[in-house]
Structures are given as structure tokens and as C-alpha cells.
Chain A
Amino acid sequence: DAGITQSPRYKITETGRQVTLMCHQTWSHSYMFWYRQDLGHGLRLIYYSAAADITDKGEVPDGYVVSRSKTENFPLTLESATRSQTSVYFCASRGKRGLTNNEQFFGPGTRLTVL
């Protein structure tokens, strides 16, 4: 039961560089989500996907791009990183696994620092 994994776990980059955060789940869940966590804000939704090739914006999508060519992968790209994108990024998935089919399962997170 590999679950949901994220890579890298830690990343330091410079302003203006492109960065891609990877997310992979082994449950064949239809829905996948990207959140960012900043102090004082809890987690905020960046993008989500209902299935392969179907994505939609969340609360804070600016500066991010997503794709989903395969059900199990949902990469998040920062096309030109800014310091305000320094954060912890969580990927999550939802599908027919939990008690209620409503709960989301989270990856371990990626801590991104933009210098």
C-alpha cells in the first residue's frame, strides 16, 4: 500500500527559476489536489483535478501550472518562482478508499524555499 508520495521532499531554488513538484498516488483515485500551507493561513487550494486531462483552479492558482496526463500523477509547476511561493506544498487524493469516500489522503509534503 504505497499510497501517495511527493518529490522532492525539500527544494531550494532561486527567484525566476522553474520548479516542478511531483505527486504520485497508487490508489487510482479520480480526484487529486494541490494545497499550500503558510503560517496563519492553514492550507489553501491551488489546483485540483477530477480525472486525467481535467483540471481546475482553486483559491490561489496564480503563478502555478498543473497537468494530469495519467491518473496517478499530478505535477505542479512554478513557471517562474517568486519568494512569495516559499511554502509547504501538499498533494492529496480522494476516491473509493476512505470510510465515506469524502476524505482526502495527503502526501508527506514538499518544503519549497525560494531565495
Chain B
Amino acid sequence: AQKITQTQPGMFVQEKEAVTLDCTYDTSDQSYGLFWYKQPSSGEMIFLIYQGSYDEQNATEGRYSLNFQKARKSANLVISASQLGDSAMYFCAMSPISSGSARQLTFGSGTQLTVLP
């Protein structure tokens, strides 16, 4: 079984500053993937970034980076230079990625990020 914990129900950040959203996970799988999704108020789920458990380097996608600390079982999302459009709910998720797995996602409860002007 897999479990994702997001301990920050809500976060505030000033525009143009960086912010870190916390995510810890638990799994018995040897191979797994970690994901972050953004859900704006319009409701759609937008994929942001992915990190494989065997990837040695932290993933980056534009202003998003994933701070992966395997020993601590954490996969924090860092958003640099926050913009007003970053205000949204953010979900951390994980899936097994072994061969033959459907790779179904297990989600955390989310963090509501508000960017202040």
C-alpha cells in the first residue's frame, strides 16, 4: 500500500518569492514515481512534474522543481518566482512503476496555495 501525506492545508506566498510545498510518502515498492498536479479553481488537473525513484537528479520543469530526498521519503515541490496564476490546489501523488503495474495514483489531501500581490 502507498500513502502520501501533505501536512500544509494552506500556504501563502508573496508574488515573485519562492515557495516549498511539503510531501512525504510511504511505500513498500522498490520502484515508484512521484508526481505533482495543480488544480486551479476551474477544477482541471494539470500535471506539473515527475520524479522516478531511481532518478539521481532532482526533476525540474521551468519554475517547478522537485526536491527528492529518498532516505527521508520526501518529495517537496519548489515553485520559484511565484506568480498570481500559481494560486491553486496542489496535489502530491505516487504510483508503483514496476513492469506490469497499472501505475494507479495515490494522492495526498492537497495544499491550497495563495499568491499575494
Contacts and interface: CB of A to CB of B under 8 A. Distances in A.
Interface of A: 31, 33, 35, 40-45, 48, 50, 56, 58-59, 88, 90, 92, 94, 98-100, 102-106, 108-109
Q: Which 5 residue pairs across A and B have the least CB separation, nearest first?
A: A42-B107, A106-B45, A43-B107, A42-B109, A102-B33
23 contacts: A33-B105, A35-B107, A41-B109, A42-B91, A42-B107, A42-B108, A43-B45, A43-B107, A44-B107, A45-B105, A48-B102, A58-B104, A92-B45, A98-B47, A100-B33, A100-B50, A102-B35, A102-B52, A103-B47, A104-B103, A105-B47, A108-B43, A109-B45
A109 B44 contact: yes
B97 interface: yes
What's the dominant secondary structure at chain A's contact region? Answer: strand
Give the size range of B's interface with the partner. Answer: 20 to 34
Nearest to A44: B107
B102 A56 contact: yes
Contacts of A42: 4, 91, 93, 107-110
B107 A102 contact: no
Contacts of A103: 35, 47, 50
B102 A50 contact: yes
Contact of A109 (B43, B52, B105, B108): B43
